[in-house]
Amino acid sequence: MKLLVRNLSRDTTEAELQAAFEAHGTVQSTSLVLDKKTGGSKGFAFVDMPKAGQAKAAMKHLNGNMLDDRKIRVKKAENREKKEDD
């Protein structure tokens, strides 16, 4: 299950994010979204957890909790479909 993590500190690293989520289960990958111009974090990321039960537990326990002095928001990521140009 892919989770969207918002309101991250610009200083939060992928390793810190992974460690926070690994406390609740297996993390397949983490991906901080970076600004193309500056290379810095945009303040949100995606975390992939292969087991839905673990992902739901992580979402329940981490949503609204503090990480790097910021109250993060965690929810299931929406699938974005690419629109075809007709």
pLDDT digits over 6-65, tens only? 999 999 999 999 999 999 999 999 999 999 999 999 999 999 999 999 999 999 999 999
* pLDDT of residue 78 exceeding 60: yes
Taking each continuous run of H as one helix and of E as one strand, the counts in the chain are: 2, 6
- Kindly state the tokens that stand for 11: 């200083």
Domain count, the chain: 1
* 84 in a structural domain: no
* 32 in a structural domain: yes
Q: For the domain that residue 57 is a member of, what is the CATH number?
A: 3.30.70.330
pLDDT band, residue 81 (cuts 50/70/90): low
pLDDT band, residue 84 (cuts 50/70/90): low
* 85 in a structural domain: no
Range of 57's domain? 2-76
* 86 in a structural domain: no
- pTM to 2 decimals? 0.88
* 35 in a structural domain: yes
